[in-house]
A and B are shown apart, each in its own frame.
Chain A
Amino acid sequence: MPYNVMIVDDAAMMRLYIASFIKSLPDFKVVAQAANGQEALDKLADGAEVDLILLDIEMPVMDGLEFLRHAKLKTQAKDCMLSSEVVSGSPHAAKARELGADGVVAKPSGTVSHDLQEKTGEELASTMRALMAA
């Protein structure tokens, strides 16, 4: 049974991009998408069955870091920060850890001419799997 994933990002393009990638992973399924933290919380409150939340940081209404606080209290789903702001060793990565992010993955980039399945999604996939196995 695949794990249920929610993508939280204010950019529709980014949501589609990530969703397209997750389609290629047989052990994960995108069951919800949200454009900001509040919308994500609403969907969780509505009973969305989510095992893993892929989360952007900069979003309107409620940003990713604020959502992380709420999520720690309101869901048992794993939280994985997915942002260009969270490269290795960066203050954002440290902050995300402080707030309890279970995983941190940098957004892939530079894929203009590549197939989505060939992009740097391998780290994302391995991180998602490691998170769910932890």
Chain B
Amino acid sequence: MSDEMDEIWVLYADDGAQAMDAMETALLELQGSGAAEQPPLVAALFRAVHTFKGNSRVLGLETVESRAHLAEDLIGLVRDKGVDLDEEILSLLLETGDRLREMLEETARTRADVAPADTEALVARLRDKIARCGDGPAEGGAAETGPDMPDPRTLASTPEPQQPPAPASETEVISAPPASEMAIIPAPEAAPPPQRPETMAPLAEQAPSPAPAIAPAGASQPTATSGPTLAQDATYLAIFNEMVTDALTKLRKAHSAADAGLAKRIVPGLAHAARQLGLQDWQDLIATLPQAPSVAEIETVIFAIESMGGPQAASAVPCATEEDAQATFFERIAPPLEMISRFGTEYTLGNPTDPQALAEAVQALSDASEAVGFVRVTSAARTLPAASDAADFRRSELRLYEELASVEMALGEKVQIKGTSPRTLLQTWCADHAFETLDELDAVLERLRRGSESRSDHRALERLIRLVHHACVHFSLHVASDLAMSILDLFSRGHARGDRPDAILMQIARGFIDTLELVFDSVREGETPNTERLEELFRQAADAGFKGAGTMTAATVERRLGLPDAFHRVLSPESTRAAGVALEQGKKFYLLRADINSDDRLAEALFELIGSGTVEAITNVTVFDGDNTIFDFLLASDHDEVAMVATFAQLDPSGKKLALLQHLRPEHGTEESDATPSAGDDGSADVIPSAEMSSEMLEQLGEVAAGQAMLQNMLGDLCEADLSETMDTILRQHGHDLRATRQALRATANQLTDQLREISQLGTQIMGHLSELQHLTAALRTRPADTILRPLTALVATQSRKNGFEALLTTTGGDEALDVRMLNTLRALLRPYLQARLSQPTKAPRRLHLAIRKLEDQVSAILQDDGSTTPAADHIAAMEEELSVHGGALRVIKRPEGGFRLHIFLPINLVVLDGMVVGAEGTRYVLPVNAIRSILQPEPSALIHVSDPAGQQIWLRLSSEELIPICDISGHKPGRGTVRKHAADGKERIHVVLNLPNSCIAVPVDELLGQQLVLSRPLRGVMTGLSSISGVALLSRGDVAMVLSPGALCGGVTGDEFFRSQISH
């Protein structure tokens, strides 16, 4: 073996040198090449780097591989994503080529990987370019990471190798291809035994086939035959002609040698090739010849072959008539296919049309397929007229489409199909039967789970998943179609290994089915389906192999820690393992930004801390800030955040070089539960993803942290300055000179003023960042109510269909922006309620309406239906209990006209409000922007005194026809002499006109301070008595403001009344 390893290393060097030469040649030719010349050169460039990468990978040269991988990624963007091959890319790739060549030489010499540090700058530039080309962070082995603590002076990380192939998780076998993937053969009747067949050679050693028959599904994968299109392909004809030439040569040799053995395989080989190409005249001829001619018969065979025109006989379109030759197979079958498809639809609706027309269509299709040897298609078509009922017909129809789609796929791009392609028909069929397919799939999965499956269930499973895949393609559900293939992939791999599907895979598959039911329903309802869950399942499917092996993946760690983008795909196996252990130990995780590259003392102190065991460094990434290189560390520790801040403050009192960016909140769960889809059997746990900190927020936090550290430093400097001592010094030095003394004192005062101004400016900047952070936070936590309304609508449709009736849920309020927690609570309450309401087919409602409305301080959801069954008391009690936890309430009302109405009220703990901040009576208030109709500064004549049963009041004239009451900000209607016309600064007061449900009011204020998003918190204690105030908010400048409730001003309607008025309206 060592000899072979030597040889492998030699070949590695040779292959690598060739690849590097090819890379260089392609790059040089690409310089100055035109757009039309580029594709083949870029393809060659890609292959060269790809080969080098693959070879390096096999030999475990992770650094070399990671660098080549990055180059490959960049070239791939040019080749596959249309990225322009600019000078920068060419220059970068030329440099990369040079470095790769150096690495090749070194690794070939040392038989060991190269040090990563030497090429870190290049890696950074490659990653930067890839990111700028729109492909996000570079994937694969190029990411920077530090599994072990790096030297403080060479903190650049070691490369992350690609995930090694998980044992037994990256192989797959399609043990029994389903019909849709089966090729068409004039096949033997049974699958060959699993021993080596006597003859497997292509085009040469095939046994003569019996009469055309359908290959059984379990048959060893046969080849596909070709139709006239392939017969017109010069390549195939040339091969056939060569075979004929070769056959004649061998036959003559056998004849002269009188050796029949030399001729025994020739005729079957030619027969197979003629059949593949659809050369009917050759097939007819060969059928008359002995398959294994004796010596006496050889001459006859030679004569017969020569009578066909010799070796060049197959130079023209061979088998078809002149008329047939002018139409491709697919063109010929288009009209009958259309007829069959229409017949199927009408049959399903109970109204089949002319059976004679169907028979003619089947005959036309059978004739066309028979002529080109598509025996499976012929057989499938002939089952159609024999169908006993509509369901039977549609099954036959499916089989036909599968066979035709298989032909279409086998022919690939060689055939241009006019009209509807068989694959499209297949996809449409699958879409029409999506729910039945999902049900069947579910049943098979259940048998697998119980261990009661039959041998055919594995094959059925694969076929059903393929049908689901086709349905997803029909609905353009790309994530779902890919996920279907991934699930198929995982099942196939396990089956090939003889393993039973593990719990994780079963959960993924069941989650897939549950989610797809809702998604299909959404699509059919014309709605945009929520595919977040599918994406999550797709990710789980990708991780399944690792989980099956009991290994926590890097992706799992990323997800559970909620790592920011910069840490994606940088976790090495070691760091992944370390993070996994820390997670299991319940440690806390932090992100630390360290600017220590130029501070050896601080670097040593930091590493000493890390080495002490108090803080564990999981990994780190390099951050380039201009010319400065800084490092972000992922740390794990038992210490809480306060202790961590104190620890780092001891190391860096200035706060400038060590900044705790983030305290991560890991999901502490078992790997099993992590892998388990969150949905229950009914998908009820299909929660809305919680808000995650975005990179922008992280950036703002970083700015705040850095600014705060700088502020503390400047204040520290000020505190340390001894002003008295400074003045004494000045007086001592210049006491005799009043002018000089004054100048010196003025200079000192100016210096202090400048310092204070800088501090003030810095404070303003920090406030700006905090304001932005507040804005980002507010935006991040809200989702439209449609996020839950659409799935609930799909749920009602799905559940009712499952139970044998049709029910429809309509909704209003889908645009209301609600906090994700609120949405999750509502969903958790409504889903089981709806499912319970729909569980009794005879009494269940048929029409339901759900209205969601957000008021100032609460959210109301009213679900009204026409069902005759009374909601179960224990169910309602459970809902009330759940609502009480959230401070909400529930009412169930029986409607006089029949049915029930469910009122859910949930208080808003954190209201994200787009508010107008105003000042009035020395206090800050926030008015909801969406309630503001206009803002004006009225002339005194516009203020009208009117008589009211309650007394004299002042109203505001907006126009000749519109007069509205003025209501002061405390909620009172001012009377004569009680309203101030001027603000404290003497200016005319501003009036904000607010829309109420059925009217308007004007609220006078002293000043407008601007619009901003605020987080309104509910009132506590005695504050709850303020009826016109719905909450308090912290403004961006640090002030506290009262949040006004317009509906409650001037005895206005309450939120509940407001809502009811909307509902009745």
Measuring CB to CB, which residues of chain A are less than 8 angstroms from any residue of chain B? 1-4, 10-14, 16-17, 20, 44-45, 47-51, 58-60, 69, 72-78, 83-84, 86-89, 91, 93-94, 97-113, 115-117, 120, 122-124, 126-127, 130-134
Contact = CB atoms under 8 A, between A and B. Distances in A.
Contacts of A1: 195-196
A132 B177 contact: no
Contact of B55 (A11, A49, A134): A11
Interface stretch (B224-232, B659-667, B798-806): B224-232
B496 A49 contact: no
Nearest to A110: B60
30 contacts: A2-B196, A3-B196, A13-B8, A16-B11, A17-B8, A50-B201, A58-B51, A76-B197, A76-B222, A84-B53, A84-B54, A88-B170, A88-B172, A89-B545, A93-B486, A104-B171, A106-B171, A107-B58, A107-B165, A109-B58, A109-B164, A110-B58, A111-B59, A111-B60, A115-B1, A126-B168, A126-B171, A127-B173, A130-B173, A131-B175
In the A-B complex, list the 10 residue pairs whose CB atoms are closest, starting with the nearest: A112-B60, A75-B202, A13-B11, A89-B486, A110-B60, A106-B170, A94-B485, A133-B194, A123-B171, A134-B175
Contacts, number: 236
Contact-size category for B: 35 or more
Given A73-B224, A112-B112, A117 B1 contact: yes
A102 B177 contact: yes
Nearest to B176: A134
A85 B222 CA distance: 26
B196 A14 contact: no
A90 to B, nearest CB: 8
Interface string B131-170: 0000000000000000000000000000001111111111
B410 A69 contact: yes
B489 A93 contact: yes
A11 B13 CA distance: 11
Contact of B4 (A84, A116, A122): A116
Interface string B542-573: 10110000000000000000000000000000
A120 B497 contact: no
A120 to B, nearest CB: 6
B656 interface: no
A73 to B, nearest CB: 5
B409 interface: yes
Contacts of A84: 53-54, 57, 162
A11 B196 contact: no
B165 A122 contact: no
B76 to A, nearest CB: 11
A82 B276 CA distance: 27
A103 B225 contact: no
Interface stretch (B42-50, B815-823, B867-875): B42-50
B204 A76 contact: no
A15 to B, nearest CB: 9
A60 to B, nearest CB: 6
Given A51-B196, A84-B54, A89-B542, A103 B165 contact: no
B4 A16 contact: yes
Name which of A60, A91, A111, A134 has the most chain B CB atoms within 10 A of its CB: A134
Contacts of B51: 10-11, 58
A89 B59 CA distance: 24
B398 interface: no
B173 A134 contact: yes
Contacts of B15: 11-13
A59 to B, nearest CB: 7
B58 A45 contact: no
A74 B517 CA distance: 41
Contacts of A58: 46-47, 50-51
A97 B166 CA distance: 20
Contacts of B46: 58
Name which of B165, B409, B410 has the most chain A CB atoms within 10 A of its CB: B165
Interface of B: 1, 4-5, 7-8, 11-12, 14-15, 44, 46-47, 50-51, 53-55, 57-62, 111-113, 161-177, 181, 183, 194-197, 199-206, 220-226, 230, 239, 242, 276, 409-410, 412, 482, 485-486, 488-490, 493, 496-497, 538, 541-542, 544-545
A83 B51 CA distance: 11
Contact of B57 (A60, A72, A110, A115): A110
A111 B12 CA distance: 13
A78 B197 CA distance: 12
A82 B596 CA distance: 46
Contacts of B163: 87
Given A13-B14, A60-B47, A72-B410, 19 more contacts: A17-B8, A45-B203, A58-B46, A74-B276, A84-B53, A84-B54, A89-B538, A97-B488, A97-B489, A99-B409, A100-B409, A102-B173, A109-B57, A109-B162, A110-B164, A126-B496, A127-B496, A130-B497, A134-B174
Given A13-B12, A72-B183, A106 B276 contact: no
A94 B487 CA distance: 10
A87 B163 CA distance: 10
Name which of B8, B55, B171, B412 has the most chain A CB atoms within 10 A of its CB: B171
Contacts of B172: 88, 93, 103-105, 127
Nearest to A18: B58
Nearest to B539: A89
A51 B161 CA distance: 35
Given A73-B225, A88-B542, A102-B173, A49 B194 contact: no
A101 B60 CA distance: 27
Contacts of A98: 409, 485
A88 B488 CA distance: 10
Contacts of B7: 16
A50 B1020 CA distance: 81
B223 A75 contact: yes
Contacts of A105: 170-172
Contacts of A100: 177, 181, 183, 221, 409-410
Nearest to B191: A134
Contacts of A20: 1, 4, 8
Contacts of B200: 4, 49-51, 75-77
Nearest to B200: A51
B490 A89 contact: yes
A4 B224 CA distance: 21
Contacts of A112: 59-61, 111-113
Nearest to B48: A60
